[in-house]
């Protein structure tokens, strides 16, 4: 039995290292806190890695959110928590982390439906909080929430948010807005555009300069 356990433990540690390895090359771009958390994983100091990624995840670092979700899924550095792992991987997914969808699919098989709804609400609240603060980076993430996190896509809300993002110059927002225009009936499209205008007028958004 001990041999089997040791074999399982080695597989588990290999999985966590493989999951976070793709971010090693990106570490310099994240700065010292992310580097330190990655190094903690390499040193198998998962408690320090968890705390490091948690701090960055709460500051909307989407790679850190994904790594934190991995740690919570595997129960390293913190007891396994599939519900909170789902929360962080959903936030990473709407933030554009390319690897998040695979882990998300796995967690949806493990987390019961009523808990999923609770986590959806937590994700929405986290995104709404940043939106209310005028964080332009969250606009497209909130739009993506209405497309991929909710059970039934809400194209009207997603279009309104993407139209807002386009108006203030968020990168790729024009293409994303136009991509879903055909999903809306003419009356709904007009309403979505009115929603975007209302959001635009509600606060002073910093106009982004295209790179």
Kindly state the percentage of the chain with pLDDT values over 70.
83
pTM of the predicted structure, to 2 decimals: 0.84
Which of the four pLDDT bands, split at 50, 70 and 90, describes residue 204? confident
CA distance 157 to 195: 8
Within this chain, do residues 105 and 158 fall inside the same structural domain, yes or no? no
Q: Does some domain include residue 117?
A: no
- pLDDT of amino acid 11: 41
The pLDDT tens digits of the residues spanning 132-167 come to 999 999 999 999 999 999 999 999 999 999 999 999
- The verdict on residue 125 lying in a domain is no
Q: Is 127 inside any structural domain?
A: no
How many other CB atoms are there within 10 angstroms of residue 149's CB atom?
Answer: 21
Work out how many domains the chain is built from and give that number: 2
Q: Is there a single domain that holds both residue 163 and residue 205?
A: yes
Q: Give the span between the Cα atoms of 30 and 37, in whole angstroms.
A: 11
193 is in which domain, residue-wise?
134-211
Sign of the CA dihedral 82, 30, 61, 155? negative
Asked whether 208 and 169 are in contact (CB, 8 A), the reply is: yes
3-state secondary structure 22-48: HHCCCHHHHCHHHHHHHHHHHCCCHHH
């Amino acid at each position: 039995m001990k041999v089997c356990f040791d074999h399982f433990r080695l597989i588990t540690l290999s999985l966590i290292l493989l999951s976070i390895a793709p971010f090693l090359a990106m570490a310099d771009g994240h700065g010292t806190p992310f580097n330190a958390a990655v190094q903690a994983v390499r040193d198998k100091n998962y408690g320090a890695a968890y705390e490091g990624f948690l701090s960055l995840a709460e500051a909307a670092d989407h790679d850190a959110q994904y790594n934190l979700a991995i740690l919570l899924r595997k129960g390293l550095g913190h007891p396994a928590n599939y519900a909170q792992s789902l929360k962080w991987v959903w936030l990473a997914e709407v933030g554009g982390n390319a690897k998040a969808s695979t882990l998300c699919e796995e967690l949806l098989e493990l987390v019961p439906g009523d808990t999923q709804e609770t986590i959806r609400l937590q994700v929405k609240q986290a995104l709404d909080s940043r939106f209310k603060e005028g964080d332009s980076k969250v606009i497209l993430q909130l739009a993506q929430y209405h497309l991929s996190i909710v059970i039934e896509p809400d194209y009207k809300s997603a279009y309104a948010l993407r139209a807002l993002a386009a108006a203030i110059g968020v990168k790729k927002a024009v293409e994303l807005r136009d991509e879903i225009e055909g999903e809306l009936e003419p009356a709904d499209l007009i309403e979505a555009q009115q929603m975007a205008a209302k959001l635009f007028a509600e606060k002073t958004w910093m106009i982004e300069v295209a790179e």
